[in-house]
Amino acid sequence: MVALAHSDLADAELAEAQLADAEFAYLVRRSDRARRVRVTVDRGGNVEVVLPRRLPQCAAQEAVVELRPWIERRLAEVGRQRAAVLARGDTVPYLGASLAVVGEAGRTRVTRRRDTLVVPEGLKRQAALERWYRRMAREEIRTRLDRACAEAQLSYMRLTIRDQRTRWGSCSRAGAMSFNWRLLLAPEAVLDYVIWHEVCHLEVMDHSPRFWALVARRCPEHREHAAWLKRNAATLVI
């Protein structure tokens, strides 16, 4: 069953009738800023069609019909990624290592004991784990960022740890650095690549050939690490 949001009933009924065998639902969102129809599948497997105001509702259905093979491949990929997360069981990744997660009644904070994380039990577990990862991200990333900047003889203004939906790092023209704490769920080399990517932006702000030549010099395996990040982005969750 295909689910539609917004617009009139006639368009919604037409889309459902023509896509009755679809195994996914999609949401239509109108946008004043959109210049064309855009279809996305996020890390959670949610399919969204962004529709310019001027276009009729049936344009969303046409886009889904046209892109259905790609949508289904993307949903299958998300399904594989979810399976990989579930296969961890009671463990979480940390820079390429696997840490066992053990609940303890009455605890409010996460403590690491060698290869084990002792965490609160129940509903507080998820939030406590995220707080711990954020704290560790600040320590891990600052150390690596300072080292990379010293090697490149560059400096940054400040460091912020965020939880961006689609970005792993950023560098402003003023030298403000921002990194996603979820990078700690990736292998160590992937984190180092993202750090070098942003450090290179301190010297070259665009993604010109000059920038990529600089990245290649400082992180020769950057293509491999970038491909890993793109392929496994949806697994970087706790």
CATH number at residue 209: 3.30.2010.10
Residues 136 and 213 grouped into a single domain: yes
Residues 6+ apart with CB under 8 A from 94: 136, 184, 185
Domain that holds residue 55: 9-86
Residues 74 and 100 grouped into a single domain: no
Burial of 117 (0-12, 13-18, 19+ CB in 10 A): buried
Structural domain contains residue 4: no
- Taking the C-alpha atoms of residue 138 and residue 160, their distance in angstroms, rounded to an integer, is 8
Q: Which of 86, 108, 140 is the last residue of a domain?
A: 86
Give the H/E segment covering residue 179.
Answer: strand 176-180
pLDDT for 169 beyond 70: yes
Q: Work out how many domains the chain is built from and give that number.
A: 2
Structural domain contains residue 150: yes
Percent of the chain with pLDDT over 70: 90
Amino acid 10 reads A
Mean pLDDT of all residues belonging to the chain: 87
**Which of 98-107, 158-167, 188-197 reaches the highest mean pLDDT?**
188-197
Residues 64 and 152 grouped into a single domain: no
Q: Which of 86, 103, 135 is the last residue of a domain?
A: 86
pLDDT for 46 beyond 90: no
- Taking the C-alpha atoms of residue 212 and residue 230, their distance in angstroms, rounded to an integer, is 17
Confidence of residue 86 (pLDDT cuts 50, 70, 90): confident
Residues 109 and 38 grouped into a single domain: no
Residues 77 and 152 grouped into a single domain: no
At residue 21, the pLDDT reads 52
Residues 188 and 95 grouped into a single domain: yes
Confidence of residue 9 (pLDDT cuts 50, 70, 90): very low
Of how many residues is the chain composed?
238
Strand partners, 205: none
Residues 145 and 182 grouped into a single domain: yes
Confidence of residue 190 (pLDDT cuts 50, 70, 90): very high
Residues 169 and 70 grouped into a single domain: no
Query: What global pTM score does this model have?
Result: 0.74
Q: Which of 64, 86, 108 is the last residue of a domain?
A: 86
Residues 106 and 201 grouped into a single domain: yes
